Amino acid sequence: MEGSKPFLERKAINININYSDENLWVGMSKKPYISPSFSYIPLEETLEIVPKKKQLFIGIPRETSFQENRVALTPEAVSVLINNGHEIVVEHCAGEGSFYFDNDYSEAGARIAYEKSEVYKATTIIKSAPISDEEVALMQPGQVVISPIHMPFLKAHTLEQLVHKKIICIAFDSIKDDSGTYPIVRAMSEIAGSYSILTAAKYLSNVHNGKGILLGGISGIPPVKVLIIGAGIVGEFAARAAFGLGASVKIFDNSIYRLMRLQNNIGRRCFTSVIEPVTLAEELSVADVAVGALQPVNGITPVVVSDAMVSNMKAGSVIIDVSIDRGGCFETSHPTTHENPIYKKYDVIHYCVPNIASDVSRTASRAISNVLMPIMMESADLGGIDMLIQAKAGIRNGVYVYKGMITNAPIAKRFNFKYTDLDLLLAAQG
């Protein structure tokens, strides 16, 4: 019919424009034409599976060993975690070494425990000092412990108990971030490098029976000679502090790259050399301060300064062995304490405190807390520490005991324990 023709044409036009509308197909004798340039393939709807958040129960014990003054989580970090639904118990006086008091933690929402055993009922223990024998006895099977490692103090029977209880142990000084660096090590290294020069200045003064030398020197008097062994972060910040005080600085390292990077970072030319025994011995014999800042190799710092080299140093000169927590790079070094930080050998003052950053504990505590708090938040978002370990290679790098297995090769080799590769283990489980 002529009158219906415009209607049919109009309907056909609508179909070509919106052929998916089934209401326009009603009453038609022919199926609509669909251009070959289109494809009509039904797609499955995909939904992102969000892991179920897990409430954390974190315990922060008071440190009673290793002359530790730092605390792993500050009240500000505790407040953030509690406001996100997590439970935190803090042992009485845990933060006093860093001038954080019980009232600060209770106001942040934490529960204060007056018995250490109460703290160790938490599923995750966060410490600023290595695990002691007393604490291992209080630990519950299957707990998670995040703390540093001091290799010279690590004992075989402590590891055996951790393995027996199937505890997950994470060394926070071995945790890597997404850029592949060690954030806590870097922060502590910056502190240790700067503080090592301030410590050397202290022991050069008469107050501590030193030679009575001002480290920076003044007009008309030659500057103090500072020798730094190691061009890593500790060496860089020791050099910055020494230059800032006006000292003459010489830096040794076996990596040309690190020496170049250090000079570039501090923005000035200075004496640099590879660690060659004859040159090193000559420079040590005229140095007023020697800072040991070598990086460890397989968990142990190589000894590059022999007993004979130290015996030829000037009387009253100062050795600050920052690398003593991994064995030290001076043959004459052995660990000391904050109560008795120095000793003399060949009339050379040795300062060999392992946790040197603990002398400026509030700064160090904030630096540690700034790293650990986001890790705890991410752990909760992913569903717990186990899920975090599986998801983050940088966290796996810090795991040295995992549910009854030693997963750190240098530690296993040192104590002659069986070593298990954590990556392979998780891949087999997954």
Active-site residues, by number, are 150
How far apart, in whole angstroms, are the C-alpha atoms of residue 378 and residue 387?
A: 10
Q: Could you give the CA distance from residue 386 to residue 238 in angstroms, rounded to a whole number?
A: 38
| Token reading at 347 | 């009339």
Sort 119 into a burial class: Cβ within 10 Å, 0-12 / 13-18 / 19+: buried
Residue from 97, 167, 184, 102 nearest 131 by CA: 167
Q: What does the alpha-carbon distance between residue 426 and residue 239 come to, in Å, rounded to a whole number?
A: 42
The Cα–Cα gap between 96 and 16 comes to 78
Beta strand pairing call for 111-113 and 124-126: unpaired
Asked whether the CA dihedral 404, 407, 412, 417 is positive or negative, the reply is positive
- How many CB atoms sit inside 10 A of residue 101's CB? 14
